[in-house]
Amino acid sequence: MKLYDSTLAPNPRRVRIFLAEKGVEVPTVQVDIGKAENRQPDYLAKNPMGGVPILELDDGTVVAETVAICRYFEGTQPEPPLMGTDPQDAAVVEMWNRRMELEVLIPIAGVFRNTHEFFKGRIPQVPEYGDVCREQATKRLAWLDEVLAERDFIAGDRLTIADITAVCGIDFGRVTGIAIQPDQKNLTRWHAAVSERPSYKA
Amino acid sequence: MKLYDSTLAPNPRRVRIFLAEKGVEVPTVQVDIGKAENRQPDYLAKNPMGGVPILELDDGTVVAETVAICRYFEGTQPEPPLMGTDPQDAAVVEMWNRRMELEVLIPIAGVFRNTHEFFKGRIPQVPEYGDVCREQATKRLAWLDEVLAERDFIAGDRLTIADITAVCGIDFGRVTGIAIQPDQKNLTRWHAAVSERPSYKA
């Protein structure tokens, strides 16, 4: 088994933190996305979408997409549960993880993709759409601060994949000046709690 | 239990087809998104994001996000499996479902959101970003045609949630002129197979 990882991007970090919380170690291969190694034929043969991370299993099966990789390990190493414990809890955790993707990580990545130097010449950038993403991300962080007034973690009283998605998304916002505001006390408390865990440095 | 449904949008249709494949019937409430019923305080109290569908459970828990709702029913009614059968299969199905979301449904919805009359005045539209989405969706349909040269369904030899996401995404493309091309024989064959199932009309 091999995990194709990159320390530069938020999605591989989600998988690294997930694995650290599970206590699972997987051999990794570093993919240099700065040098577009993920756009070379060898890599595209494994994942035509070109995204990192991917997980290559011993039978040659390639699992792409961050949450699909996490789901594999949730199945093979159920403890501690990070994606829910019964059908209702799994649904609630999935809801929150998707909200953290659709409302936090994707808009923050949208600012980066559409306005940052890194993507110039790599993808068609639309700065005006980057501004729409920035406004959405900023508004959603304010909403998330209210959500966290009611509980310790995003999907309830323990850490789940939703917290991992959120912290990787929010930390990625630093590159484009999106950050938790000083008056967002609940979000600040939550971020401190998540970042004190050993998995945060994975 | 109540499903808040809307016949106008692609996401509620994903849940309706999923439930029809499972043979599960759930009482529904129609939400008129044309009249912005999903933006009224009563609805926003259930789902602050304003999206349809949502599933309200008997204990008052609200599950939002299409795939989270599907996951609930996959857990309570496992047969026939639509989200994988073991950890590896679940990961592969999740990968394909996410690709169908990220590469097909979301770009097609992006064209609609950023260029269609319906969203004028409802959200900030960026037509130039709509064009980027259109190019991506068109390119991805050509890729999906190649994928389907190798197998009957998107994630393998039987229908899964990935096919449901794809067909709802592709059919939604009609509104903005995105469609399977006559020379895309595999995609044409697959669409015919999916649309012949009774669930297609759900």
- This complex has an ipTM of 0.97
Q: Assess whether A192 and A92 both reside in one domain.
A: yes
Q: Which of B56, B76, B96 is the last residue of a domain?
A: B76
Tens of pLDDT, residue by residue over B113-143, are: 999 999 998 899 999 999 999 999 999 999 9
CB B3 within 8 A of CB B55: yes
Its pTM surpasses 0.90 = yes
Please give the average per-residue pLDDT across A76-98, as a whole number: 98
CA angle B28, B29, B31 (to 5 degrees): 135
Please give the average per-residue pLDDT across B147-161, as a whole number: 97
Assigned token pair, A119: 């993507």
Instruction: Indicate which CATH number applies to the domain containing B18.
Output: 3.40.30.10
Establish if A82 belongs to a structural domain. Answer: no
Assigned token pair, A170: 């929010």
Q: Say yes or no to pLDDT of B8 above 90.
A: no
Q: Which of A19, A46, A76 is the last residue of a domain?
A: A76
Assigned token pair, A8: 């530069």
Yes or no, beta carbons of B90 and A75 under 8 Å apart:
yes
Output phi, psi for A156, to 5 deg: 150, -145
Yes or no, beta carbons of B95 and A65 under 8 Å apart:
yes
Tokens 């239990």 belong to residue: B1
Tens of pLDDT, residue by residue over A71-86, are: 999 999 999 999 999 9
Q: Assess whether A32 and A59 both reside in one domain.
A: yes
> How confident is the model at residue B82, as a pLDDT?
98
The pairing of strands A28-30 and A2-5 is parallel
Q: Assess whether B174 and B195 both reside in one domain.
A: yes
Establish if A152 belongs to a structural domain. Answer: yes
> Mutate which of B19, B76, B119, B126 to disrupt the A interface (most A C-beta within 10 Å)?
B126
Nearest to B194 by CA among B146, B142, B148: B148
Please give the average per-residue pLDDT across A22-48, as a whole number: 96
- If one counts the domains in chain B, the total is 2
How many CA atoms, within 13 angstroms, populate the side-chain half-sphere of residue B76?
A: 17
- Terminus-to-terminus CA distance in chain A, angstroms? 19
Q: Assess whether B63 and B107 both reside in one domain.
A: no
Q: Say yes or no to pLDDT of A39 above 90.
A: yes
Please give the average per-residue pLDDT across B175-190, as a whole number: 98
Q: Assess whether B191 and B103 both reside in one domain.
A: yes
> Mutate which of A86, A95, A132, A150 to disrupt the B interface (most B C-beta within 10 Å)?
A95
DSSP state of B59: T
Q: Assess whether B122 and B172 both reside in one domain.
A: yes
Establish if B42 belongs to a structural domain. Answer: yes
Model confidence at A97, pLDDT cuts 50, 70, 90, reads very high
Q: Assess whether A12 and A105 both reside in one domain.
A: no
Q: Say yes or no to pLDDT of B186 above 90.
A: yes
Q: Assess whether B196 and B153 both reside in one domain.
A: yes
Residues 100-139 of B with CB under 8 A from A: 102-103, 114, 124, 126, 128-129, 132, 135
Assigned token pair, A35: 């040098």
Q: Assess whether B112 and B179 both reside in one domain.
A: yes
Q: Assess whether A143 and A187 both reside in one domain.
A: yes
- The verdict on A76 touching B (C-beta cutoff 8 Å) is yes
CB B64 within 8 A of CB B71: no
Assigned token pair, A161: 């994949």
Please give the average per-residue pLDDT across B103-121, as a whole number: 95
CB A181 within 8 A of CB A141: yes
CB A35 within 8 A of CB A90: no
Angle between helices B10-22 and B66-76 (to 10 degrees): 10
Please count the residue pairs, one from chain A and one from chain B, whose beta carbons lie less than 8 angstroms apart. 101
> How confident is the model at residue A8, as a pLDDT?
85
Nearest to A61 by CA among B98, B93, B88: B88
- Chain B residues whose CB is inside 8 A of the A132 CB are 124, 126, 129
> Mutate which of B62, B72, B96 to disrupt the A interface (most A C-beta within 10 Å)?
B72
- The verdict on B57 touching A (C-beta cutoff 8 Å) is yes
Instruction: Indicate which CATH number applies to the domain containing A169.
Output: 1.20.1050.10
Establish if A35 belongs to a structural domain. Answer: yes
Establish if B53 belongs to a structural domain. Answer: yes
> How confident is the model at residue A33, as a pLDDT?
93
> Mutate which of A58, A92, A146, A154 to disrupt the B interface (most B C-beta within 10 Å)?
A92
Percentage above 70 pLDDT, chain B? 100
Q: Which of B35, B51, B76 is the last residue of a domain?
A: B76
Q: Which residues pair with B89 in a beta bridge?
A: none
CA of A140 to nearest chain B CA: how many angstroms apart? 10
- The verdict on B142 touching A (C-beta cutoff 8 Å) is no
Q: Assess whether B15 and B105 both reside in one domain.
A: no
Q: Assess whether A69 and A93 both reside in one domain.
A: no
Establish if A19 belongs to a structural domain. Answer: yes
CA of A169 to nearest chain B CA: how many angstroms apart? 17
> How confident is the model at residue B133, as a pLDDT?
97
Please give the average per-residue pLDDT across B172-200, as a whole number: 98
Establish if A115 belongs to a structural domain. Answer: yes
Tens of pLDDT, residue by residue over B54-93, are: 999 999 999 999 999 999 999 999 999 999 999 999 999 9
Nearest residue of A to residue B88, measured between CA atoms: A72
- The verdict on B94 touching A (C-beta cutoff 8 Å) is yes
Nearest residue of A to residue B93, measured between CA atoms: A68
Amino acid at B19: L
Percentage above 90 pLDDT, chain B? 98
For residue A62, give its domain range.
2-76
Establish if B81 belongs to a structural domain. Answer: no
Tens of pLDDT, residue by residue over A145-189, are: 999 999 999 999 999 999 999 999 999 999 999 999 999 999 999
- Chain B residues whose CB is inside 8 A of the A67 CB are 94, 98
How many CA atoms, within 13 angstroms, populate the side-chain half-sphere of residue B95?
A: 26
> How confident is the model at residue B194, as a pLDDT?
98
Assigned token pair, A142: 């304010």
